[in-house]
Every structure is written in structure tokens, then in C-alpha cells.
Amino acid sequence: MSQQEQVTLSIDGRTVRVPRGTSILEAARTVGISIPHYCYHPGLRAVGSCRMCLVEIEKMPKLQPSCAIAVSEGMAVRTESPEILRNRRAVLELLLLNHPLDCPVCDQAGECELQNYYMEHGAYDPRFNENKTKRKKVAPIGPHVMLDQERCILCTRCVRFTQEITRTGELGVIERGHRSEIDILPGIELNNPYSGNVVDICPVGALTDRDFRFQCRVWFLGRTPSVCPGCSRGCNIEIHYNERFNPRYHDKRVHRLKPRYNKDVNGFWMCDEGRYAYHAIDAPNRLTSPEMLQGETWRAVTWDDAVRETAAALRETIERHGVAAIAVLASPQMTNEELFRLRQLYRDHLRIGDIEYRVPNRAQVYSDDFLITADKNPNSRGAEVLGLAGRGTAAILEDCAAGRIRFLHVCHHDLERGYETERIRAALGRVDFVLFQGSWDHPTAQLAHVRLPTAVYAEKQGTFTNLNGRVQRIHAAVPPPGEALPDLEVLDAIAAALGLPAAPASASEVFIEMAKTVEPFAGMTYGTVGSSGQNLR
């Protein structure tokens, strides 16, 4: 940005230089000055209604809302004068007049700005000596959101979200004056594809998540940055996991997903489809140990036995039928590093060219022009860039059914999502050896001869490439269940059993090797990708 578009001002005696049009509140943030606020949210229109963020501006006779006033050249602002502090205490006293003492049972406790600001700015001897106003409590207003009107401070963030972001308008301010309250409009419910975001932006406990409600105290939750695997958008998220996880109490390891700000991908938001997909991480059908089919029974075996059986079948197929009898179905659910290692194993070392990652989806899927895409895989672009688009899954299945494919390696896919059950059973039934490598038991996994359990996105390191070519990192929040391993380690074990040269062990080292080999990734490292991603060349 050019010098002419910059504005210089003073905040609490500190010189601040920010772009013209920046609000005073945001300008203060750039130098580490936090101005308390409730109604303001950087992703929504500023309304200046809560009066918590009032500041003194030189030559202005009254306190002004810092969220709604843009900076100007030479402006002098104070944020901690006695009058400002009195105003904050008065606002907090007003907001707490009818606020219930729900803190011990409120899900927002521990991350509630009403609690935080009271302790920092508003501690006082209460003067209110009347009964508190009673309003609607524990009211489900949609499949994901619970409303408690008594806790609401009328910041209207949720109302503006449904008006400005989703444009569905389910929420509004009902009545006027001291009778004002937030509620859904008659005859409808809060059931848009992004409804969970109103819980994220509510500064108090008025809107709570029905899925998370009473599950875990927030101070027991660890937070790990990651990327949503639900579609090719690659929304940035935080995985909130229980640091005190104890399976004796049937607890959950991962308790919720929250959006993480990235101006180039998802802004402040994420969809409900991705938000609640975390239940699959600990689903009952997770594969947790290597298994081999004996007769019609699956038997748990050691990793050594499973990998040895796989390598023997692979060698035998090559010796008896040649590499043309081998096909691989890679998965766009795998990371760039895992797909690169799979390419190295089969294409570079074994000279097998029949690799494909695209499997159609017969189910109707929702997509829109905001965040949700029709491609429900996080790394289709990465698989494409790595050259794993082959002759098509349909052609591979035809060769399987004709007996021309004798060894088939399926990574993660449930093929019945794209093809009829009878067709899949007939095709895979003709293959001498089917290896399934994935995280969940499903109809395709049942048709394999060996099953190798793998970690999901929340249990491993790596990168995904979204539909716009942005490479973004994922991090391990929790360990894989049972004996499951990251796909990278599974592929390394197969390569070792085949006697192939050792390769870099960690995902970061594989990424560096990939950047040297695959031109679109050239020059990238985990450091340059950082926390917000880096575009392909």
C-alpha cells in the first residue's frame, strides 16, 4: 500500500500508522492495545450499539465508539482515561442487571467476554435490588443451536450474521426497549448451512452448540490448527480436543471444530457440514489393527505379517503377470506428502503407471457460491498436480472384472459411493489380491484380502492443496487409535518389505523432496507455507 493511503495517529501516546479507513479499534490492535467490545466483529458491519468500546478523541466533547469511527491524520486517541473506565463499569453493570448467575453450568464459561471484562473492568458492588427479568431458556432454535434469552446482551452479532453472511434472516430483535430480545422469526428455524457460526461469534452463553453442550469444560480443551477435510475449499479450522481424555468414562477425544481466520480461504467462517464431521474420527467403524481375510473371517495380525503378505502378493503379480496387472486407486483424502510417496513407490520404483485418484460420487451433494464445494475431498488439486489422474476408475474396474488386474491397491475409497454394489463385488471378486488401506470399515474394505488401518487428518502431519491451489498444513491433535498409522508410514513399510531404498521418514522431509521434484511446489517448505498457506507456483 502506498504512503498516500496511510494515516498516522496517536493512541495512548503511541504513534500508529495504518491504512486509511481502518477503525480506531482495529488500529489499536496493531500496537497491542485491546479495547473491550461486544457488538463489533471484524467480519460483520459495525453498529456501535454496545457502547463498550467508547474512547476519547481529542477535540471531540463526548466519548466515541472506536469500532465505528475511522482513523484520520493526526488524530489523538485515549483508551484508558477515568471517564472511559467509568463508562465501561456502567455498561457492564447495565448488561448484568438481568443476567442470570449461570456461570457454573454455562458452556461459555472460560471463554466468555462478559466474565473476562467484568474481572478486568467492571468489578463493583451491585446496586440492583429487584428481581431479574425472566426470559426464554434452553430453547432449541435449530438442529445445532440452543438459545438462552436471559444470557443475551443484545449485541446483535447473530442477527447481522444471518442478514449479511448467509442472507437467510432467521434471527431478529423482537420488541423494543427493555423488552427487546433475540429470537427466531415465527414459523422458521435456524437451519442454514452455516448456522453453527452464530455460536462462535456470540460473546456470551446466549447461543450454545447443542452438539457440544455439557460435554467438556473449555479449559480442558487443547487447540491444534488444521484444515477441514470436508470439501476442496480447505477451510482453516482449530481442532479442540480433550487433554484429559479418559476412555473409562466413554469420553470423546475430539470435542469440536472451530473456524480459524484466513482471509484468503474462509474468512472467519465454516459450514455445518464440516463442523460436525469430526464424529467420524472416533466412529465405531474405525479400523484399528491390521487384518487378513481367512476364509470368510477377518483376523487381526501384526503389521509385519500384513505388510509381508502384501509385498509377497505384489512380487508374485509382477513376476507372473507383469506390472500391467497392477492398479492403484489413490485418494484425494491423503496428504500431498502421502500421495507423493505413493507415486514414488508405484510409478518411480515399480514402474506401474495405472494410478487413479478420481472416483465419482452418486449421492446428491450440496454446494454453494460461498464456501461449500461439490468436491468433498480436501486434496483433489494436490493429486492432480502430482499427476495421479489416470485412465479413470471405470476402466480399471472393467479390467478387474475381465481378470486383467490381478493386484489392486485401494486407498480409503468406498467404491460403492460411485458404482453399483453388484458391479463392485463382481469386479473385485475377480482380483487375486485386493489391498485396502484406509481409516474406516465399509463395503469396499470388506472386499479386500488385507486391510491396513490408517490415521485421519486430525492424527497426522502433512499438507492439503485446495481447489485454488493453496497449500495448507494439517497437524496431529490426537494419536491414531489402536495400531493405526499415517499413510506415509504404511507406504514406507510396504517399500521396505519390497527391499526398495529408504526414503525420508518425516512429512516435512518428504515435502522438501517433493518441492525439489514437482515444479508447482518448487521453493516451498513448511516454513513458507506457515499457518495460512502458500499458493502453488
Q: Give the CATH number, domain containing residue 14.
A: 3.10.20.740
Percentage of the chain exceeding pLDDT 90: 85
pLDDT band at 162 (very low <50, low <70, confident <90, very high): very high
Q: What is the reported pLDDT for 250?
A: 67
Looking at the fold, whether 71 and 169 belong to one and the same domain comes out as no
Q: How far apart are CA 315 and CA 415, in angstroms?
A: 25
Q: Which of 159, 183, 209 finishes a domain?
A: 209
Q: Pick the range with the lowest mean pLDDT from 237-241, 243-247, 463-467, 491-495.
A: 243-247
Count of structural domains within the chain: 3
Q: What is the reported pLDDT for 117?
A: 87
Q: What is the reported pLDDT for 292?
A: 96
Looking at the fold, whether 314 and 459 belong to one and the same domain comes out as yes
Looking at the fold, whether 308 and 345 belong to one and the same domain comes out as yes
Looking at the fold, whether 37 and 117 belong to one and the same domain comes out as no
pLDDT band at 528 (very low <50, low <70, confident <90, very high): very high
Looking at the fold, whether 133 and 196 belong to one and the same domain comes out as yes
463: three-class secondary structure by DSSP: strand
DSSP state of 144: S
Is 510:336 a contact under the CB 8 Å cutoff? Answer: no
230: in domain: no
Structure-derived torsion over alpha carbons of residues 366, 369, 373, 379, reported in degrees to the nearest 10? -170
Sheet holding 54-57, edge to edge: 14-19, 6-11, 76-78, 54-57, 64-65
Model confidence at 188: pLDDT above 80: yes
Q: What is the reported pLDDT for 97?
A: 84
Q: How far is CA 357 from CA 398, 407, 475, 491, 506, in A?
A: 16, 16, 23, 16, 23
Q: Which of 209, 231, 261 finishes a domain?
A: 209
Q: What is the reported pLDDT for 344?
A: 95
256: in domain: no
220: in domain: no
Q: Give the CATH number, domain containing residue 130.
A: 3.30.70.20
Predicted TM-score of the model (pTM): 0.92
Q: How far apart are CA 318 and CA 432, in angstroms?
A: 12
Which of 480, 441, 440 minimizes the C-alpha distance to 460? 480
Q: Encode pLDDT of 271-293 as tens digits.
A: 999 999 999 999 999 999 999 99
Give the pLDDT mean for 221-241: 97
Residue 197, all three cell numbers:
457460526
479: in domain: yes
pLDDT band at 125 (very low <50, low <70, confident <90, very high): confident
Q: What is the reported pLDDT for 1?
A: 43
260: in domain: no
Q: Which of 177, 209, 241 finishes a domain?
A: 209
Model confidence at 151: pLDDT above 60: yes
Q: How far apart are CA 52 and CA 91, in angstroms?
A: 6
Q: Encode pLDDT of 26-60 as tens digits.
A: 999 999 999 999 999 999 999 999 999 999 999 99
Q: What is the reported pLDDT for 160?
A: 97
Is 332:393 a contact under the CB 8 Å cutoff? Answer: no
69: in domain: yes
Looking at the fold, whether 26 and 149 belong to one and the same domain comes out as no
Sheet holding 433-438, edge to edge: 297-300, 291-294, 450-453, 433-438, 407-411, 326-329, 355-356
Q: What is the reported pLDDT for 124?
A: 65
- With a CB cutoff of 8 Å and minimum separation 6, the contacts of 126 are 93, 96
Looking at the fold, whether 60 and 205 belong to one and the same domain comes out as no
Looking at the fold, whether 318 and 422 belong to one and the same domain comes out as yes
User: What is the average pLDDT value for the chain, to the nearest integer?
Assistant: 93
Q: What is the reported pLDDT for 234?
A: 97
Q: Encode pLDDT of 257-266 as tens digits.
A: 999 999 999 9
Looking at the fold, whether 9 and 102 belong to one and the same domain comes out as no
Is 338:462 a contact under the CB 8 Å cutoff? Answer: yes
23: in domain: yes
Give the pLDDT mean for 265-270: 97
Distance of CA 437 to the CA centre of its chain: 23
b/e for 426-437, b at 16 or more Cβ within 10 A? ebbebbbbbbbb
Looking at the fold, whether 8 and 156 belong to one and the same domain comes out as no
Q: Encode pLDDT of 305-326 as tens digits.
A: 999 999 999 999 999 999 999 9
Q: What is the domain range of residue 140?
A: 95-209
Q: What is the reported pLDDT for 501?
A: 84
Q: What is the reported pLDDT for 455?
A: 97
Three-state SS letters, 23-65: EHHHHHHCCCCCCCCCCCCCCCCCCCCCCCCEEEECCCCCCEE
Give the angle subtended at the CA of 461 by the CAs of 455 and 465, to the nearest 5°. 100
Looking at the fold, whether 175 and 66 belong to one and the same domain comes out as no
Model confidence at 136: pLDDT above 70: yes
337: in domain: yes
Q: Encode pLDDT of 339-349 as tens digits.
A: 999 999 999 99
Model confidence at 74: pLDDT above 70: yes
Looking at the fold, whether 426 and 506 belong to one and the same domain comes out as yes
Is 405:434 a contact under the CB 8 Å cutoff? Answer: no
Give the pLDDT mean for 327-354: 96
Q: How far apart are the first and last CA of the chain?
A: 24
Q: Encode pLDDT of 439-497 as tens digits.
A: 999 999 999 999 999 999 999 999 999 999 999 999 999 999 999 999 999 999 999 99
